[in-house]
A and B are shown apart, each in its own frame.
Chain A
Amino acid sequence: MMAGAPLWPQQASQHARSVDLLIASFGAMVWLLTIPVFVLMAWFAIRYRRGRTVNREHSPQSNVWIEASWSLIPFVLTLFFYVWATKLFLDIQSPPPEAVPVNVIAKQWMWKFEHQSGAREINELHVPAGRPIRLVMTSQDVIHSLYVPALRIKQDVVPGRYTSLWFTADRPGRYPLRCAEFCGTDHSVMGGALIVMRPSDFSAWLAQHQDGGADATLAARGERLFRKVGCSGCHAARSAVHAPSLDDLYGKPVPLSDGTTRIADEQYLHDAIMLPNKEVAAGYRPIMPSYGNLLDASEVGALVAYMKDREGEDSE
């Protein structure tokens, strides 16, 4: 039985409705500009057909005013949509500060989602309706792309760096989530669902899906790793090695040895762990070993979550 696709794709957020309005309006304008052209073409082909006696005198050769008008007027009209579309685009690139982060790791051929609370999911992502969610994403191998058609959003997930996406889903439901960048053999089955739940249902779900134990949250996992792989050996206050303090580091500016300053975001922290000599903090020697071979993307995500948590504590 071939069930058809719905007449219009589901809209699970305000952004989705805005995008639909944009393309519908732009489509309407485009039709308004195009239909007259097609009509004229067909009419001329018929009216001026060879053999018909009709007035062909004084056919115009060129007219700068007409050329200028039909070049500039559609262009200016389109610019209006350009401004609208660019504004919408910048909106989805600017998450509100209260957005809840979820780590996403893509690999051939599955999606791993890690909530701050410690809940981990494969291929399915549960989120509460009405709350802004920020996805912090990286890939373990090739470029993938996270796409939720019902939200009208998509972002490439790139190895070696973090990209992010944010949304507020406002309609509970189950929506397809697909990989949208060709990534090899099983690209077409690398997908799952975004499950939007009413906030009360989501809290219940979250409680049910804790990892259990003292290392429930992502940050707690990160703290355990911090000790286990030896970060605390150099980065504790009492350490003999001269290493930068990690207190209250996330989101703050870091002066680098080449004179520039970087904000310590997820990307910076990731690079500092995996490629430590890429950007060396000012006043320190480039002696930190790389953890590129020891840690995977999920563990780095946990360490970053831990560092976001650290405020003023520097004891073991």
Chain B
Amino acid sequence: MSDAAIDTDAPDEAVVARSYLRAGHSLRSWLLTTDHKRIAILYLISITFFFMIGAGAAALIRLDLLTPQGDLLTNEGYNRAFSVHGIVMVWFFLIPSIPNVFGNFLIPLMIGARDMAFPRLNLLSWYIYMGSGLILLCVVFGGGVDTGWTFYTPLSSVYANGAVVAAIVAVFVSGFSSILTGLNFIVTIHKLRAPGMTWGRLPLFIWSHYATSVIFVLATPVLAITLLLVAAERLLGIGVFDPDLGGDPLLFQHLFWFYSHPAVYIMILPALGVVSELITAAAHKRIFGYWFVAYASIAIAVIGFFVWGHHMFVSGQSLYASAIFSLLSIAVAVPSAIKVYNWTATLYKGDIAIDAPLLFALSFIGLFVAGGLTGLMLAMLAIDVHVHDTYFVVAHFHYIMVGGSVTAFFGALHFWWPKITGRLYSEPLARIAAVIILVGFNVTFFPLFLMGYEGMPRRYHIYPPEFQLLQVIASGGAALLAVGYAMPLFYLGWSLVRGRRAPANPWGATGLEWTTSSPPPKHNFTRQPVVERGPYAYPLAHPASRDDG
């Protein structure tokens, strides 16, 4: 990695003036931009908005669960709250979060390109996402939907009240945003790498996003057609999933989970890529076992297509199918474990700076491992029979999605904040936030494992009174977690106005994005980068730091 191509360690006026943030100030220049960096910021604003909607629903849920009778909401209201929470968080926050914000911003920079392969398609993806979001808002404020984010038939297709079809349309449309994003990423990574940037020199963030994009393109259409059939059943009374007409409700489950299991890998693979970057940058050392980690991402994506039946062990599916899905679900854990071991080995003999991004990365590893191991428990047939559809499962996937993906999102936000905005944030406040998030998260979700094993089913508005103590603890943890999530809004926002200006490479990290100014110019690099060294080629010739400039 040539770090002599551009010398922008000291931000000079000319470079700052050309920054992408200053290339046009009108609303039009933002809403009609084709600059991948500006599109990333548009996505950042939108997903933050949807995160707040999903978090609002979560707040209602946790408040309501303070008492066993659920005095805040009615049964119907509670059912709508958790359905909206799931739909918003899965499709309108988690799936776009890291790929559409950090993938969009960083992929061209990391490979040494000026933009994505299809810049206008990139903008179209955002508009499609916003359109689907608008439909979803109509659903939320028009009374909501009460089928759960999983839309099981025949409840969703025949029996449910609420805006089921509208919710389906919102999710259906959002899928196209995903497909186009994945398409853009794949072509960009194949065709726009800078001279010398061979596959073996790509940052692991790129490998993760490549694997994610394959899932985007191949799995999302199956969701689209499945939801289309549910809507048709609801509107036209056709009977593909309706047993009264000889249809098969299990067929829906197979089709739905064929997409939705790979979808959870869409939600975690980018996070795994982020953590590889955070660990190597903090340790100032090359990743241990680069090729193992790179291929592990591909393995997770491929094997992930063949495990969907583990959501259906008690559904009535064939026993042989269950046994096979169980075995494959254990296999898919192996590449994830490889990553965790390799990150640990990377820290060995490193030169470790303990800043907020590393704290987020270490939190991620702890919480992701807990989530992953409980996932292994769920893959065991006899155990799953007991804890399926209980709080145990809810705890498992929140450990991965929130403890994992959201933590990694915050890690990425802090790590690349200086590059994206050109400002430095308050390190002490960030470290405090990271710790509050870690503690708050565990207090919220660990009790759910206990409740689940005790037999507390999920999606219960009214619950047996013996669980109240643990529910209250969980709600208390949620309040703390909310504080932890709210803090960055303030100190990151503050840094935009009053933060110190960031040098090109405040962390002393490798990666082409750190060789250009903070923030980058509109076309990313003043000169075409030429790559001569491998990835993570520490030590750097001129290791810059936060205190430069």
Contacts and interface: CB of A to CB of B under 8 A. Distances in A.
Contacts of A192: none
A4 interface: yes
Interface stretch (B41-49, B204-212, B435-443, B454-462): B454-462
> Which 8 pairs of residues, A with B, have the shortest CB-CB distance?
A149-B455, A160-B243, A89-B381, A88-B382, A59-B349, A85-B380, A188-B460, A44-B347
B314 interface: yes
B380 A145 contact: no
A145 B155 CA distance: 13
A62 B288 contact: yes
Contact of A86 (B148, B158, B381, B386): B381
B373 to A, nearest CB: 5
B353 A50 contact: yes
Interface core residue of B75, B285, B455 (most chain A CB under 10 Å): B455
8 contacts: A19-B383, A62-B291, A67-B289, A86-B382, A142-B159, A143-B152, A159-B154, A159-B244
B345 interface: yes
Contact of B243 (A19, A78, A159): A159
B465 A85 contact: no
Interface string A44-70: 110011100001111111110011001
Contacts of B291: 62
A181 B458 CA distance: 8
Contact of B455 (A34, A160, A176, A185): A176
Interface stretch (B2-10, B185-193, B361-369, B513-521): B361-369
A117 interface: no
B243 A56 contact: no
Interface stretch (B224-232, B335-343, B498-506): B335-343
Interface stretch (A150-158, A209-217, A219-227, A302-310): A150-158
Contacts of B222: none
B383 A38 contact: no
Given A3-B465, A292-B244, A186 B382 contact: no
A78 B330 contact: yes
Given A38-B366, A176-B464, A2 B155 contact: no
A42 B352 CA distance: 12
B341 A37 contact: yes
Interface string B245-267: 01011100000000000000000
B350 interface: yes
Nearest to B450: A5
A197 B463 CA distance: 26
A188 B75 contact: yes
Interface string A67-108: 100110011001101101110111011000000000000001
A31 to B, nearest CB: 9
* Contact-residue size bin, chain B (C-beta under 8 Å from the other chain): 35 or more
Contacts of B365: 41
A293 B177 CA distance: 45
B462 A188 contact: yes
A184 B155 contact: yes
A188 B455 CA distance: 13
Given A49-B352, A156-B315, A188-B462, A89 B382 contact: yes
Interface in A260-288: 275, 278
Contacts of B381: 85-86, 88-89
Given A180-B389, A186-B75, A187-B460, 17 more contacts: A5-B450, A19-B385, A22-B382, A37-B341, A38-B366, A44-B347, A50-B351, A60-B348, A61-B290, A74-B337, A85-B383, A86-B323, A142-B155, A158-B243, A180-B388, A184-B155, A188-B457
Nearest to A87: B382
A79 B470 CA distance: 33
Nearest to B385: A154
B396 interface: no
Contacts of B159: 108, 141-142, 184
Given A4-B466, A176-B455, A178-B455, A89 B390 contact: no
The size bracket of the interface on A is: 35 or more
Nearest to A157: B316
Contact of B152 (A50, A182, A188): A182
Given A26-B380, A82-B326, A62 B388 contact: no
A153 B453 contact: no
B38 interface: no
B148 A182 contact: yes
A88 B385 CA distance: 10
A120 to B, nearest CB: 24
Contact of A45 (B75, B154, B338, B354): B354
B469 interface: yes
Contacts of A89: 313, 319, 322-323, 381-382, 385
A114 B284 CA distance: 69
Contact of A48 (B79, B283, B389): B283
A70 B468 CA distance: 41
B347 A71 contact: no
A110 interface: no
Nearest to B388: A154
Nearest to A61: B286
B118 interface: no
B316 A62 contact: no
A149 B354 contact: no
A289 interface: no
Interface in A1-22: 2-6, 9, 18-19, 22
Contacts of B137: none
B152 to A, nearest CB: 6
A152 B453 CA distance: 9
Contacts of A59: 285, 348-350
Contacts of B470: 4-5
B494 interface: no
A250 B334 CA distance: 47
A206 interface: no
A30 interface: yes
A85 B310 CA distance: 14
A182 B146 CA distance: 10
A38 to B, nearest CB: 7
Contacts of B249: 143, 158-160
